[in-house]
Structure 1
Amino acid sequence: MASIAVSEQIIGLRQTLKVFTRRFTADREESSDLVQDTLLKALMHQDKFKPDTNLKGWLFTIMRNTFINNYRKHQRARVSRDRTKDLYFLNVEDNHTLNLPDSRCEYKDIWQHVNALREVLLIPFRMHINGYKYYEIAEQLHLPIGTVKNRIFQARQEIQKKLTGY
């Protein structure tokens, strides 16, 4: 009999849970799904609820954990939502690599412009893009740090002028 009473109390808090979902999402469908998942988990595991404790707090914890787990799952899968009529989920690959034919040409063009710099600018610039700190470049080239920063800045400016079409 006690489990029926707990089930009724859980179902009775449905509207409160719906309001609580606004902390996590503004999407109505996602909100409804979150409430349903929370209620389902609570009803399935109501034997784990301890009598004379805060039922609402227990439900809020289940909801928060469900939201976090769903968020992490979607992040791992790198899924984006297709807003078409059928609402399919599509896997999206990262295109941060330079594997496209056009990007290979751009990459070569950029490096041609970099290599065309005057040697006075090229050496500090290459050292900088290879991870050397300003003071390390200054020590190695026996230059003041201000001069190193200026030359790197000038190298960037010249490269940007040559790459106005990109």
Structure 2
Amino acid sequence: MVHQAPTGSVEGEIIALLPKLRAFSKSLTKSRSDADDLVQETLMDALAHLDGYQENGKLKAWLFRIMRNAFLTRCKKAKREVCMPLEDSIFSQPAPAAQEWAIDLRHLYEAADELPSHLRHVFIKVMEGQTYEAIAAECGCAVGTIKSRVNRARHQLAEKMDWDTHRVHH
């Protein structure tokens, strides 16, 4: 039996926001399954900490912040993981120091500061959890224009950071 949250409840509002959560997760991740996993993780975190949500707060912004933080945590974790053949000893390769991630993050912020202002603005807005629609309304342009700018910003950042551009997706 599927549980349906009462209309007007926070749980009901969360369910209503699922399409926007899915869209945001797809903008952050490289695959549909990763996006689905991120939505699920976000919902689990949100429901586990629902008592910390203030009823008069902005639920969508709260959920997007949870998702963004979960995504950044995943990125940090992936950066620390070392892939090696099974036959290698687990102790044969050193793990990267935690400081390396902090340096990479600082370089990302510096690279973002070098983006043209129109790209930097929309990229930051997306990372803050704003929808393409809201950003388009603020900028007075089409949603497709915003998506294009975010995509260009991602690719420019990937080049500046010397990342594999195939890992940077829409």
Q: Report the structure number with the largest CA radius of gyration.
A: 1
TM tier, smaller = 0.3 to 0.5
TM, length-normalised to structure 2: 0.43
TM, length-normalised to structure 1: 0.44
